[in-house]
Structure 1
Amino acid sequence: MTERIYRSPQPFHWEGRGERGETAIMLIHGFTGSPSEFRRFGYVLNDFGYTVNGVCLPGHGTKPEDMLGLQWPDWYGHVLAEYHKIKDRAYRRIVAVGHSMGGLLALKLGAEQPLDGVVSLASPIYLRDRKIWLAYPLQYVKKYVHKKPSQLTTRFEEIIAYDRSPLTCVVSLRGLMRHVAKLLPQVTAPLLVGQGEKDRTVLPASASFVYERAGSSSKRLIWYPHSSHAILMDVERDAVYNDVLAFVQEVDCSLSKPNNDRSRMPALERR
């Protein structure tokens, strides 16, 4: 790897090294976002030797018009295709890490495909904006809803995301939220759920819902009291990186042990 580029919407795949390189980590960004959300953390994971694959969802990373006509099955279909590409390369372990809508897609993948670990960060089951239900009727009279002016500080400047959301896609996102909520008991891989308590997009109760409903016998819920929805880039991002890395290392270690006793990672909620 040569020059490190943080502000880029392009997908990325960086091979790891040694035994850790046999663990492939899928990084799935959120709604109207791009792989730029994960590039900084991707470098961290790759520095530790892991193979990382930053997914770019269809219609994302270019312009909002490219999202028009797309629905959540299109986004999940792309994630599934990327998963099979990784699986075909015969990595020993696959871990899916998703932020926001990407977390929902990671959970759905974990419910339907063999994964060795799932990480859900700020994934929505309940959205804070109660006007979200208006998206359904409004989609017939307007194409986009504009986001509020950003209050984010300079540490977020590397994130590339759209300034408006296609309303048909917002409606589809709501459908994905309901769909994944029903699938959670089928998620049995080791699970890490992370949630910022200052999230102004997703109600923190979403994290409790995912944690409680998931079928995983090994699961953890970690709260970040000073973090917003952009949990990967906020003031506690180093703590988020360390917690996810520790989770990956623990999954990696447990799968290397004889008899593969996953029950050694207990259920835990941490504040």
Structure 2
Amino acid sequence: MKRVYKTTEPFRLEGTGERASTQLLLIHGFTGSPSELRRLGYYLNDLGYTVNAVLLPGHGTTPEDMIRTGLHDWSGHILRSYDAMAASRAREGKIVVIGHSMGGLLALELAMKRRLDGVVSLAAPMFLSSRKTSLALLLQYFIKYIERRPAAAAHLVEEACTYDKTPVRCVVDLRKLMKLVKADLGQVSAPLFVGQGEKDGMVLPKSAEYIYRHVSSLVRQIEYYPHSSHGLLLDEWRERVYEDISRFLARLDQAGTWKQAVVEIQT
């Protein structure tokens, strides 16, 4: 099968062998697309896992489409995607959700509402680097979009197929989602992996520890990547992130290894 990159289409990759019954639900970030998850998806599918990468409403087309969507559309789509996977899974099948950025928030929210066998939250924002997003509540009544400034790592933005402008009213809903998830983190009890790049220019790295400290998961792991940006799934250090995620998934397959109460923070 030819591998395709830089496309906004959702994708499904059928697994093989014993791991095929473990379905991975991949969720992309704010204004992004499944393209940012394709390299990870191919990597995990090569290991045998079944991969489902969704396209959030309003994403992967135009900012004009996105501005007509919001929190309930994004959350609702994830719930429906999970329910469809759960209805079709094998008797002993597992479902693990992997989310990047806003996708990490949606993954955590899903863990509050549905039974999951594992959660991988990558660069999920509890605290944003810029305080300007707090102005969106007022700005939405005056301007519709904010142009994105040229990024230092423009090739990452290009591969993620991210919009070149951001609907202001959607920033308001992103902040609502952050607030909701932050307030209810104690409801997350599934085994959890938290990953965070220390060179993230959008999300403050302390977000990862906040998530780690406030969930109820008895099994949890946190990893910091000193050289990784917000686009940690695509930048040059991505292989280490992929390997850590694959080891986390492998441990889920070996239930006996999860008897320890808490995996200590690794820095």
Superposed pair shares fold, TM > 0.5: yes
Contact 1:217/1:263 (<8 A) preserved: no
2:21 corresponds in structure 1 to 22
- For 1:262 and 1:185, how far apart are their aligned partners in 2? 20
Deviates more, 1:147-156 or 1:59-68: 147-156
**SS of match in other structure, 2:254:** helix
TM-score with structure 1 setting the length: 0.95
1:266 corresponds in structure 2 to 262
> How much does 1:202 deviate?
0.5
> How much does 1:165 deviate?
0.8
Contact 1:116/1:189 (<8 A) preserved: yes
Per-residue CA shift, 1:8-42, capped at 9, x if unaligned?
11000111012200000011000000000101110
2:178 corresponds in structure 1 to 177
**SS of match in other structure, 2:17:** coil
2:37 corresponds in structure 1 to 38
Contact 1:156/1:233 (<8 A) preserved: no
For residue 53 of structure 1, what is the amino acid of its counterpart? N
1:10 corresponds in structure 2 to 9
Contact 2:197/2:224 (<8 A) preserved: yes
1:149 corresponds in structure 2 to 150
2:96 corresponds in structure 1 to 95
1:136 corresponds in structure 2 to 137
1:53 corresponds in structure 2 to 52
Per-residue CA shift, 1:91-145, capped at 9, x if unaligned?
4100000000000000011111000000000000111011111111110011011
> How much does 1:75 deviate?
0.2
CA separation of 1:155/1:199 partners in 2, compared to 1, >3 Å: closer, same or farther? closer
Contact 2:29/2:99 (<8 A) preserved: yes
- For 2:189 and 2:143, how far apart are their aligned partners in 1? 41
- For 2:264 and 2:59, how far apart are their aligned partners in 1? 34
- For 1:5 and 1:265, how far apart are their aligned partners in 2? 41
**SS of match in other structure, 2:6:** coil
Matched, 1:121 2:122: yes
**SS of match in other structure, 1:202:** coil
Per-residue CA shift, 1:195-220, capped at 9, x if unaligned?
00010100111111100001100001
1:248 corresponds in structure 2 to 249
For residue 264 of structure 1, what is the amino acid of its counterpart? Q
Percent identity among equivalent residues? 49
For residue 37 of structure 1, what is the amino acid of its counterpart? E
- For 2:22 and 2:11, how far apart are their aligned partners in 1? 16
> How much does 1:154 deviate?
4.1
2:190 corresponds in structure 1 to 189
- Where do 1:52-71 residues align within 5 Å? 52-71=51-70
Contact 2:58/2:68 (<8 A) preserved: no
TM-score with structure 2 setting the length: 0.96
1:111 corresponds in structure 2 to 112
- For 1:153 and 1:70, how far apart are their aligned partners in 2? 26
Structure 1: runs of 5 or more not aligned: none
**SS of match in other structure, 1:158:** helix
Per-residue CA shift, 1:60-117, capped at 9, x if unaligned?
0011100112111110100111101110112410000000000000001111100000
- For 1:156 and 1:174, how far apart are their aligned partners in 2? 22
Structure 2: runs of 5 or more not aligned: none
For residue 21 of structure 1, what is the amino acid of its counterpart? A
- For 1:111 and 1:44, how far apart are their aligned partners in 2? 28
Matched, 1:217 2:218: yes
Contact 2:251/2:258 (<8 A) preserved: no
2:234 corresponds in structure 1 to 233
